[in-house]
């Protein structure tokens, strides 16, 4: 294997950094140089932190399954809980209980958020709140969050909520009201550790299992046309 081939393999193995991360990576890198000038062991610590920062803001390409009725995971992370609850009250939707899939993102997960389904953005709502650990049940209600409602061409509504976590201090959402979106399309991110909640339409059940890991833009969470019950599984 020649050097060019090796270089291309390495290049293809390193995902690009999202534009939101350029500023932070630069700050970390400058800090590393200053620390190294003061004392080399500190510089090494700064180097590790800079590499982690670049890793945190990585933005890998994803292969999104095609299908108008498929609900795709908006985020990488652990499917922490699947339960029946009402959508956030501030959205003005029905208070009937529907299936909610909660995905917890740790600081090593990809934090780019992707649209769960194709359709039109009908509601955008920012709700200020606390910064409790995102793996707590009450984080869905008490934490800072950005909610998005996407209506499919056949009139079904999917709610996707970006929830800030213990050390997340900013939710980024690029969507606009009435915007047409495509499943798997990037629409924002959360810094630095968070949670994503998906509320399915009434009568639609999850086709993933609590404890399973989801891949944003790839994992199928549900099928709007399926009448199947919630999927079950076990650790093996």
Residue 87 lies in a domain: yes
Q: Are residues 132 and 205 in the same domain?
A: yes
171-177-178 Cα angle (round to 5): 140
Residue 195 lies in a domain: yes
Say what the pLDDT of residue 66 is.
95
Q: Are residues 115 and 140 in the same domain?
A: yes
Catalytic residue among 73, 140, 147, 194: 194
Q: Are residues 81 and 115 in the same domain?
A: yes
- Residues found in the chain: 236
| 137, two tokens | 């049940």
Residue 166 and residue 60: Cα distance in Å, rounded?
25
SS3 56: helix
Residue 61 lies in a domain: no
**Region of poorest pLDDT, from 9-13, 49-53, 169-173:** 9-13
Q: Are residues 124 and 188 in the same domain?
A: yes
Q: How many CB atoms lie within 10 A of CB 167?
A: 13
133 is catalytic: no
Return mean pLDDT, the chain. Answer: 89
Q: Are residues 147 and 190 in the same domain?
A: yes
Mean pLDDT on 147-173:
89
**Domains held by the chain: number:** 2
157 membership: H or E segment, kind and range:
strand 157-164
Say what the pLDDT of residue 145 is.
93
Say what the pLDDT of residue 121 is.
98
Q: Are residues 194 and 87 in the same domain?
A: yes
Q: What is the pLDDT of residues 62-113, one digit of tens each?
A: 999 999 999 999 999 999 999 999 999 899 999 999 999 999 998 889 989 9
Residue 129 lies in a domain: yes
Place of tokens 């890991």: 213
> Which of 56, 80, 99 is the endpoint of a domain?
56
Q: Are residues 38 and 125 in the same domain?
A: no
Show the domain range for 35. Answer: 3-56
Dihedral sign, CA of 128, 129, 134, 137? negative
Mean pLDDT on 49-70:
92
Q: How far is CA 27 from CA 30, 34, 41, 90, in A?
A: 5, 11, 19, 37
Q: Are residues 173 and 200 in the same domain?
A: yes
Q: Are residues 164 and 52 in the same domain?
A: no
Residue 13 confidence class, pLDDT cut points 50, 70, 90: low
Residue 201 lies in a domain: yes
Say what the pLDDT of residue 229 is.
84
Q: Are residues 52 and 74 in the same domain?
A: no
Residue 211 lies in a domain: yes
159 has which bridge partners? 149, 199
Q: Are residues 112 and 205 in the same domain?
A: yes
pTM: 0.89
Residue 44 confidence class, pLDDT cut points 50, 70, 90: very high
Residue 228 lies in a domain: no
Residue 132 has pLDDT above 90, yes or no: no
Q: Are residues 134 and 27 in the same domain?
A: no
Helix (DSSP H) and strand (DSSP E) numbers for the chain: 4, 13
- Estimate to the nearest angstrom the gap between the alpha carbon of 195 and the chain centroid: 7
3-state helix, strand, coil in the chain (%, to 5): 25, 30, 45
């Amino acid at each position: 294997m020649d050097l060019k081939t090796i270089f291309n393999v390495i290049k293809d193995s390193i995902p690009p950094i999202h534009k939101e991360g350029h500023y932070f990576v630069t700050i970390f890198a400058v800090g590393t140089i200053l620390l190294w000038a003061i004392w080399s062991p500190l510089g090494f610590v700064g180097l590790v932190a800079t590499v982690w920062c670049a890793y945190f803001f990585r933005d890998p390409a994803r292969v999104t399954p095609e299908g108008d009725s498929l609900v795709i995971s908006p985020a990488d992370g652990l499917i922490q809980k699947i339960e029946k609850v009402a959508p956030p009250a501030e959205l003005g939707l029905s208070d009937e209980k529907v299936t909610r899939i909660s995905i917890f993102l740790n600081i090593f997960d990809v934090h780019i958020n992707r649209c769960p389904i194709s359709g039109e953005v009908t509601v955008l709502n920012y709700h200020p709140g606390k910064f409790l650990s995102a793996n707590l049940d009450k984080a869905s209600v008490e934490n800072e969050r950005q909610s998005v409602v996407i209506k499919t061409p056949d009139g079904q509504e999917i709610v996707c909520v970006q929830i800030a976590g213990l050390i997340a201090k900013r939710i980024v959402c690029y969507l606009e009201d009435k915007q047409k979106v495509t499943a798997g399309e990037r629409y924002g991110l959360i810094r630095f550790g968070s949670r994503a909640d998906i509320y399915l339409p009434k009568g639609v059940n999850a086709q993933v299992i609590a404890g399973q890991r989801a891949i944003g833009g790839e994992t199928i969470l549900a099928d709007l046309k399926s009448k199947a019950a919630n999927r079950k599984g076990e650790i093996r």
